[in-house]
Amino acid sequence: MSASCFGLGKSSYGWAYNSLNQDPCAVATYLGQACNSTYTIEPIGTGQFYTAPTSSEANACTCSSVFYMTLSACGGCQSDGAIFTSWFEYTANCETVYPMVFPQPIPDKTSVPHWASENVTETGGFDEVSAEALGDAPETTGGSLPASSTSSTLTEPTSSSIFEPKPTPSASNTDTTPSSSHSILLPTALGIPIPLFVIIVLGAIIRGRRRRSTTATRFETTTITTTRRATYAHQEY
């Protein structure tokens, strides 16, 4: 006996049927048979849920998020308050995963609802509310789903790779040296052409040096005059 929607689960999963009036269990079965012609889905009872495929069951079809979504909906429509395996847990035995794409041609006897192509890498897994919000249309038949995401080799995340914050630059690592672009902004902001600004600066430097030279000369002259006066007064005394 193959799995199918029934009871309270069936009544709350009307949105999950495709335009051929096939429930998600039937759609998932057809998708599984694209890789294994004898593939079937066993029914589950209340409190039960579909687990990850074993290493021998893992293939391009069962490791697709499109298949995962239809299988999860199949579990949900068989009982009220179903439990769902997360996408990461589900793909534990998959060497390659296919998020948002079914890598085999869609069998002619079925059509895949739009909600089955939900981005599970963002949601983390099957969610009844978001899937229902996506809706049935447009459906995909007779070919592969659009590859919104390329296939990838599944690797288990480590504690260092999950939400790893970027280090905040410390004061010792912060470059406080003003760049040349900042110094160029001053004359531009004052409305002075850069060549004229350079001439003004050089003129100010030269005038400053002349003033210091003149002051030093005056100081030297005053010192000599004072010395001569003191010498003359001593001789007269």
**pLDDT tens, position by position, 78-131:** 977 788 999 999 999 999 999 999 999 999 999 999 999 999 999 999 999 999
Kindly state whether residues 133 and 92 are assigned to the same domain: yes
Examine residue 34 and state whether it is found in any structural domain, yes or no.
yes
Task: Give, in order, the Cα–Cα distances in Å from 43 to each of 13, 26, 58, 76, 96.
Answer: 16, 12, 19, 11, 27
Q: Does residue 28 contact residue 8 with C-beta atoms inside 8 Å?
A: no
Domains of the chain: total = 2
Task: Give the least confident one: 1-5, 45-49, 164-168, 189-193.
Answer: 164-168
Kindly state whether residues 141 and 97 are assigned to the same domain: yes
Per-residue confidence band for 32, with pLDDT thresholds at 50, 70 and 90: very high
Helix axes 180-190, 194-236, angle to 10 degrees: 90
Examine residue 2 and state whether it is found in any structural domain, yes or no.
no
Examine residue 173 and state whether it is found in any structural domain, yes or no.
no
Kindly state whether residues 21 and 126 are assigned to the same domain: yes
Nearest to 82 by CA among 72, 94, 71, 97: 72
DSSP-derived secondary structure letter, 120: H
Examine residue 1 and state whether it is found in any structural domain, yes or no.
no
Examine residue 51 and state whether it is found in any structural domain, yes or no.
yes
Give the helix ranges, DSSP H, for 85-151: 87-90, 120-123, 128-134
Examine residue 208 and state whether it is found in any structural domain, yes or no.
yes
Q: How far apart are CA 79 and CA 69, in angstroms?
A: 16
Domain that holds residue 191: 180-236
Task: Give, in order, the Cα–Cα distances in Å from 15 to each of 19, 85, 130, 176.
Answer: 10, 21, 12, 60
Average of pLDDT values for 124-153? 74
Last residue of a domain, one of 136, 153, 170: 153
Kindly state whether residues 145 and 188 are assigned to the same domain: no
Examine residue 160 and state whether it is found in any structural domain, yes or no.
no
* 117 or 170: which leads in pLDDT: 117
